[in-house]
Chains A and B, each alone.
Chain A
Amino acid sequence: MARLAVENLKKSFGAVDVIRGVSLAAESGEFVVFVGPSGCGKSTLLRLVAGLETADSGGISIGGRDVTTADPAKRGIAMVFQTYALYPHMSVADNMAFGLEMAGVAKAERERLVREAADLLHLTDYLDRKPRQLSGGQRQRVAIGRAIVRKPDIFLFDEPLSNLDAELRVKMRLEIARLHRELGATMVYVTHDQVEAMTLADRIVVLRSGLVEQIGSPMQLYSDPDNSFVAGFIGSPRMNFVQAEVTGLWDGKLLLNVPDFGLTDLAVRPRAMPAKRPVSLSLGVRPEHLAEGVAGSHRVSLRCNAVERLGAVTYLHTAPGDDNTVTAQLTGSSSARPGDSVEVALASEQCFLFDAAGARV
């Protein structure tokens, strides 16, 4: 395991700036997840760390060693690809041993290391099989095994679970978490799935358009987002944003009129009181904090236009498909139907405020 540090990294493809000055660090043994929408540059950032792309400027160091221009194989990293990228003509054992062979490890030692990794990944019975004879989950385990045998300082995962079905994804997610605990290695993981990010990460790096939006622990991002992008991206279903007019100040809080919720003088504490009182703001509230059957300081009546029943909970949507739709979390046994008016509770201390540019207020 080793510390990964990225300093003001920049990369463009032609006229397109994909990475526009990213700095971050993954501490030794830490599980860091890069998350963001498609095209945000997260995969490119990982490929830069891997050495599969060359940075235009900036630096990358692993374990204190500058590897910005080092060969991928000399960086002490191993990568697991989204598409597994197994060698189809080689057996599972050969797939896992290939990197060791290239590193000049003796045959007996290679076999021992492969067997060790296969045990860890429950692949022992499949060592003689070809990749095409394996299921998707097994293939991905082989790809992980190929990374493990090399005992890298840092593991890189590029959306490793996105080709698997939902059930297998949950299983593999737990397995990767277990591997991280057992190996204690530094892991950098790219995903667009915020559930994977929340469940696996020690720290999440939220990226947008080639820039870091926020870095923090999953709960930090969830409960204290820096801007509306992070607030909307972390948490599922996504946070509701509604327009609010600022009417006054009271006890360190801003008083707001929220027409969409039919609320007046809703008192919300800003992160830091702005020097100049804003006229209008965007009020962010998560569906689970706009909920039925929980305590809340305010009652909000919502028009139900669509209902999603998930069993344990039910989600109400006021304008499904619309960007301004409001989603509220109802109880699993809720009898709400489209057309109904449903009353939910809103806790003002769970509300966030954002300015017109999306920055947290």
Chain B
Amino acid sequence: MKRSATINALMVACGAFFITLVGLPFWWVVSGSVKVPQEIIARSPTMFPHSFTLQHYNKLFDASAYPVYLANSLIVAVSSTALTLALAIPAAFAFFRLDFPGRGALYRTILLAYAFPSIVVLIPLFGLFAKIGLVDRLPALVIVNAAFALPFSIWMLRSFFAGVPKEIEEAAVMDGAPTMTILRRIMIPLVAPGIASVGIYAFVSAWTEYVFASVLILSDAKRTLPVGFSGIIGQYQIDWGLLLAGATVAIIPVVAIFALIGRGFVSGLTEGAVK
């Protein structure tokens, strides 16, 4: 298909606009983190750093609790992702494959849970966790994050399971594979792109979760990045260099996870299976 030059130019302009819209703040944060404080707060902002310093990073890692928050956040995000996947994969497969009474109703109920704003359940959850002694403990955040990521994850994985040609599963049945073996050996490899998407979704939501982390965690040593970092900013003054360096470091795990499991997004995994 050939497009006219005008349409091409228009599309390039549109693309450039959105790249700028999304990319500029990132550039601002990353480039700002290596500027000296005077340049960051200079009246006329500089697009490209005129100075280069790692002083903010030194301060971040040596003189603040940032490394603790970072470690807490990593523990919570990785555990939440693992728990979400460990529960969502079998649940989605069960909703897709098993025929049990109340399947439709239960499935809709799960999706309904997704519609609740987190703030509504915040106080009751706090009471509940207080009773079982989970307040001020990281597992509380893992449970909450997984619980909130699960409805969407199950819904998404179920449609990925449904996208696997029925015959492949039937061939495995004919080969004598039990249901759990079919899930493990056949279905999971085939829905890898879906698992990758759900994994990224669960990781990013846990990584950026603020409300529960700010209420359920009381001691400073157990804070996650979003909450802990907001404390670094300070009540009366803002250390912009520290803020930008912290934000830059906070982006890294997300970028890394996209690079790492983003490969799972490859399409055409079932190519050659049927037809």
Contact = CB atoms under 8 A, between A and B. Distances in A.
A345 to B, nearest CB: 46
Interface string B156-193: 00000000010110111111110001000110011000
B273 A84 contact: yes
Interface string A61-82: 0000000000111100111011
Nearest to B178: A102
Interface in A134-181: 134, 136, 139, 146, 150, 163
A99 B174 contact: yes
A118 B210 CA distance: 58
B272 A130 contact: yes
Interface string B102-128: 000000000000000000000000000
B170 A88 contact: no
A261 interface: no
A87 B273 contact: yes
Interface string B51-74: 000000000000000000000000
A85 B186 CA distance: 11
B188 to A, nearest CB: 10
Q: Which of B168, B268, B269 has the most CB of A within 10 A?
A: B168
A78 B272 contact: no
Contacts of B167: 81-85
Given A85-B171, A87-B186, A89-B190, A98 B177 contact: yes
B175 A102 contact: yes
B165 to A, nearest CB: 6
A139 B167 CA distance: 14
A88 B171 contact: no
B99 interface: no
B8 interface: no
Q: Which of B172, B190, B268 has the most CB of A within 10 A?
A: B172
B7 interface: no
B270 interface: yes
A133 interface: yes
Contacts of A52: 170, 173-174
A50 B271 contact: no
Nearest to B175: A99
B274 interface: yes
A86 interface: yes
Given A83-B165, A85-B168, A131 B174 contact: no
Contacts of A132: 268, 271-272
B274 A99 contact: no
B275 A88 contact: no
Interface in A21-55: 50, 52
Contact of A89 (B172, B176, B189, B275): B189
Contacts of A133: 272
A86 B269 CA distance: 12
Q: How large is the interface on A (under 10, 10 to 19, 20 to 34, 35 or more residues)?
A: 20 to 34
B165 A131 contact: no
Contacts of A81: 167, 170-171, 274
A78 B172 CA distance: 11
Nearest to A152: B174
Nearest to B181: A102
A89 B271 CA distance: 9
A78 B174 contact: yes
A88 B173 contact: no
A103 interface: yes
Contacts of B268: 132
Given A83-B165, A83-B167, A89-B190, A102 B274 contact: no
Contacts of A74: 176
B254 to A, nearest CB: 28
Nearest to B169: A85
Contacts of A130: 272
Contacts of A77: 174
A83 B173 CA distance: 16
Q: Which of A78, A79, A102 has the most CB of B within 10 A?
A: A102
B173 A98 contact: no
A100 to B, nearest CB: 9
Contacts of B174: 50, 52, 72-73, 77-79, 99
B190 A88 contact: yes
B275 to A, nearest CB: 6
A82 B176 CA distance: 19
Nearest to A87: B186
A282 to B, nearest CB: 41
Given A72-B176, A83-B275, 15 more contacts: A72-B173, A73-B173, A74-B176, A81-B171, A83-B273, A84-B275, A85-B171, A87-B171, A88-B168, A88-B270, A88-B271, A98-B175, A99-B174, A133-B272, A163-B275
7 smallest beta-carbon distances between A and B, as pairs? A132-B272, A73-B176, A131-B272, A83-B274, A99-B175, A85-B167, A88-B273
18 contacts: A50-B174, A72-B174, A72-B176, A78-B174, A81-B274, A82-B167, A85-B165, A85-B273, A86-B168, A87-B168, A87-B171, A88-B168, A88-B272, A99-B175, A103-B176, A130-B272, A132-B271, A150-B175
Interface of A: 50, 52, 71-74, 77-79, 81-89, 98-99, 102-103, 130-134, 136, 139, 146, 150, 163
